[in-house]
Amino acid sequence: MKFKHNSQTAAGRLSAEGCHRVIFMVLMAVGIAVRVIGFGVIPGDLNQDEAFGGYEAYSMLKYGVDSAGYRFPVYLFAWGSGMSALNTYLMMPFMAVFGPKIWVVRLPQLIVACLTLWVVYLLIKRMFDGKMALFALFLMVICPWHITMSRWGLDANLAPGFLIFALYFYVRGLEDHRFLMLSSLMYGLSLYCYATIWAIVPFIVLFEFLYGVYVRKLRMDRYVFFSIIILGVLALPLILFLLVNMDVIGEIRLPFLSIPKLLYMRSDEMFLSNIVERAKNVWHLMKIQYDDLPFDGTEKYGIYYGGTLSFFLLGVYFCVRSFLKKLLKREYAPEFLLLLQAAGGIALGLLLSRTSIYRNNILFIPMVLIAALGVYRLFELISLKELILPVLYYLVMFAGFVHYYFTEYNEMLDYWFCRGLQSAVEEATAYEGPINYSRGIEHSRILFLAQVPVSEFTDTVEYFMYPHPYLEAKSFGRYNCDFDPGAPDVNVTYILSRSADWGLYEDQGFVVHIYDEFAVAHHPDNNNSSADR
């Protein structure tokens, strides 16, 4: 009988483990599917920043330099005030194989986002238990912000993923110090995702290290030493970048590395003043879950759905309570590490002159994980083992979000991502001769979609205002956006946005082809041949 009872217990345990694996696989499949379906097309076509990142990758692959003539810069010159470089470098291997396509520009973000789902599960399982890990994974899978940002290639949106990778390897490193080197690698790479987190990451790393020492899980050994070296080596080029742009040293140009001098350093975006007002702005963003930038997320469903903020605050309470209980005993409380990541996100918001979802993006994964802990601990407290009610609520919200995202919201994004521009550029560039494009299209989109040779751009570009924090090209090569849209020239091909009067061009004898938000106008009497068509 005892043998039979043990067999039944083992069979039940195996059944539970099998069910756990199935749920994990289903969640991962759903999470990947909702991020992959329509990828590269929804949203379409291109944001101006992801277009510039894509062009820099194309230019360095084909010509060995970026759009400003730098060889492998640690920070992209781009608009004159720069862009973070890691996203561009991650594109390059895929672009070398598949070419400069829109989906290739977005692929690094998709990969990092999907890996983040897996790492969130592993992190919470190691910190707490498998059941809570599944619920945390569930909330990340259905998170509107995470789904939205995973589908387009803004450089800044890599930062949340790399910080979570770093945290996971740090937690592993508390048990096996060899993983600390991977944590340092991820923290170091995160610095190349988004410049604003330079002010936050050193403090996160320092407090994690001090806490690990305090709870007697860290001791100085060769792995800790190597971890410090790795982080230092990765941070050094950016320290030199700051010195260059503070006019302490001259810019550095090496065959394998460049540290450029920008036209404008956006240091005024971060400073300590009006802390109370900024705290209100951060709270408003967390509460309202919208920042009036449609490409950042949906006003209807927010960052993490209604009610999640309450679960987050509850989770903060449980985290603080557990941390304080163990603090004097010097016992390890993994909750502290989640609080530290969330505190870093909030601190970033207090430093930023303008609070928005993409600028404050490192806050939201820790928020979701702490909210998951809040729900989990609440149901433990009231002796309910199954999370049926919150799961049903979030499933209903998720179903509504998915339908909204792929229909109404996608149509609203047509303007912001210039749907139809790729087809318009393809037609216009097939004609020889000058091309005028509507101001507002941004030269970065033309550069990428037309694959303009970098020397043609650097040798001929003229800007509306120079120097300026956000350079806007007036003309380069055969492309020009400084023209009178009300006085068509029959010898010019036009790429026109909806702000132009397309009917005027038809009245002047132009053949106008419409591509969603754009039109191409070409006159049959154009003296420039179209032999390429």
In one letter, which amino acid is 223? Y
pLDDT digits (tens, 9 = 90+) for 206-257: 999 999 999 999 999 999 999 999 999 999 999 999 999 999 999 999 999 9
User: Same structural domain for residues 400 and 426?
Assistant: no
379 and 438 housed in the same domain: no
Residue 336: what pLDDT?
Answer: 97
Q: Taking 70 as the threshold, does the pLDDT of residue 464 lie above it?
A: yes
Percent of all residues in the chain with a pLDDT value above 90, rounded to a whole number? 86
Q: Is residue 362 part of a domain?
A: yes
Q: Are residues 131 and 222 in the same domain?
A: yes
Q: Does any domain span residue 468?
A: yes
Per DSSP, the three-state class of 110 is helix
Residue 4: CB atoms within 10 Å = 8
Mean pLDDT: which of 5-9, 177-181, 499-503 is highest? 177-181
Q: What would the pLDDT profile of 309-349 be if each residue is shown by its tens digit?
A: 999 999 999 999 999 999 999 999 999 999 999 999 999 99
Number of domains in the chain: 2
Domain boundary among 397, 413, 429: 413
Query: Are 339 and 469 members of one domain?
Result: no
**What does the alpha-carbon distance between residue 532 and residue 489 come to, in Å, rounded to a whole number?**
21
Residue 273 confidence (pLDDT): 74
pLDDT for res 1: 43
Helix axes 201-214 and 335-351, enclosed angle (nearest 10): 150
Tell me: pLDDT of 3 over 50. Answer: no
8 Å CB contact between 159 and 50: no
pLDDT value, residue 10: 56
Output DSSP code: residue 408: I
Least confident of 26-35, 227-236, 465-474: 465-474
pLDDT of residue 86: 97
Please give the Cα distance from 443 to 463 (Å, whole number): 10
Report residue 197's pLDDT band, with 50, 70 and 90 as the boundaries: very high
Residue 528 lies in a domain: no
Q: What pTM, to 2 d.p., does this model score?
A: 0.93
Average pLDDT over residues 381-407: 90
pLDDT of 532: 42
> What is the length of the chain?
533
Last residue of a domain, one of 413, 444, 460: 413
Whether residue 529 lies inside any domain: the answer is no
Average pLDDT over residues 174-189: 97
pLDDT digits (tens, 9 = 90+) for 115-137: 999 999 999 999 999 999 999 99
Parent domain of 451:
421-522
Mean pLDDT of 460-467: 93
